[in-house]
Amino acid sequence: MLKDSMSEYFNRYIYKWKEFNETLPQTSWIEEAGNKLYVGEKDEEGYVSWLPVDKEEIYDFKVIEQKLNFSLNESVKAYFNSYYFFQLSGWIKEYNVNLNPVIPNIEPTRFIKKIIDYRQEHGGELRYIPIGIESNGLLLVIDNSNGKVYLEDYERATYEEIHSSLEELIDELRFNE
């Protein structure tokens, strides 16, 4: 189950962060996010510790699916309805990927805008759904029909499969050792 994979990832991420930095993960303060994820106060540089939080309110994607006349892959819905968090990233194969955060009071509105923009940039087609980015600027996308994860090179119009599912990708993300 995707939520279990995300939970395991966050446990590994927090452990590695504490091991290296001796603190909880930190991020810059985002006013719109409210206080749900923050732990403690922001420091003099504007950074604050955070922890992922189980998402209690489930977003029903039916309205946007009806508006855009398509159905989102279930893994995408599960991803946006599992946790609130600021960071989910790591290495898969030789790629450093950063999946979209799910931030209170910001998501899924920002994600829906990305889908609409992506659709416009791809001639009205939504075969793939943007879910993140790779460190060299390639888009991390999910094939909406089968849930496979690809890196999209927009300029070359190519797609490289990097995993068979979002769940397995998250299971296999590694951190710099």
154-174 pLDDT per residue, tens: 999 999 999 999 999 999 999
Which top CATH class is 54-172? alpha beta
Supply the pTM of this predicted model: 0.93
82-103 pLDDT per residue, tens: 999 999 999 999 999 999 999 9
Three-state secondary structure call for residue 27: strand
Of all helices (H) and strands (E), which one includes residue 113? helix 109-121
Give the whole-angstrom CA distance, residue 65 versus residue 80.
15
118-131 pLDDT per residue, tens: 999 999 999 999 99
Give the whole-angstrom CA distance, residue 174 versus residue 165.
16
Contact 55, 83 (CB under 8 A): yes
Domain boundary assignment for the chain: 54-172
